[in-house]
Amino acid sequence: MMKTRCLQRMLIGVGLAMTLAVPWASATDYYVVMSSQQPSPPPSLWTNWGLAHTNLLEVVAAAGNNDTVYVTNNATYWLTNQITVSYAITVRSWGPGGILDPTNTILYGRYPNATNRHFQIANSGATLAGFTLTQGCESNGGSISLQSGMVTNCTIVSNYAQNSDGGGGLYLAGNGNGSVYNCALSGNTAKMGAGISIKDVGPWQIVNCRISGNSALETGYGGGILVNLNNASASAIISNCWVVSNRANNYGGGIALYSRAQCHNSFIIGNTVLTNQGGGIRMLGTSLIRNCLIANNIAKEGNTTASGGGILAGWGASIQNCTIVSNAAPAGNGGIQLTYATGPENKFENTIIWGNSGVNSNWYISAGTNIFTNCCTSPNIVSAFATAVNTITNDPRFVNNATDFQLQSDSPCINAGTNETWMIGVKDLGGLQRIDRFSGQVDIGAYEYLPSGTMFVIH
Counting residues of the chain whose pLDDT is more than 70, the rounded percentage is: 93
Residues 6+ apart with CB under 8 A from 235: 202, 203, 204, 229, 260, 261, 262
H or E stretch at 18: strand 17-18
Evaluate if pTM is beyond 0.85: yes
Minimal CA–CA distance to 374: which of 393, 356, 360? 393
3-state secondary structure of 120: strand
**Res 319 pLDDT > 50:** yes
User: How many whole angstroms separate alpha carbon 383 and alpha carbon 403?
Assistant: 31
Torsion from C-alpha of 295, 283, 209, 202, nearest 10 degrees: 170
User: How many whole angstroms separate alpha carbon 389 and alpha carbon 369?
Assistant: 14
3-state secondary structure of 61: helix
pLDDT on residue 297: 98
User: How many whole angstroms separate alpha carbon 84 and alpha carbon 60?
Assistant: 8
pLDDT digits (tens, 9 = 90+) for 361-418: 999 999 999 999 999 999 999 999 999 999 999 999 999 999 999 999 999 999 999 9
For strands 155-157 and 184-186, give the pairing. parallel
pLDDT digits (tens, 9 = 90+) for 223-265: 999 999 877 778 999 999 999 999 999 999 999 998 889 999 9
pLDDT on residue 282: 97
Minimal CA–CA distance to 227: which of 245, 254, 266? 254
**Domains of the chain: residue spans and CATH:** 72-423 (2.160.20)
Please, are residues 122 and 97 in contact by the beta-carbon 8 Å criterion? no
User: How many whole angstroms separate alpha carbon 431 and alpha carbon 424?
Assistant: 14
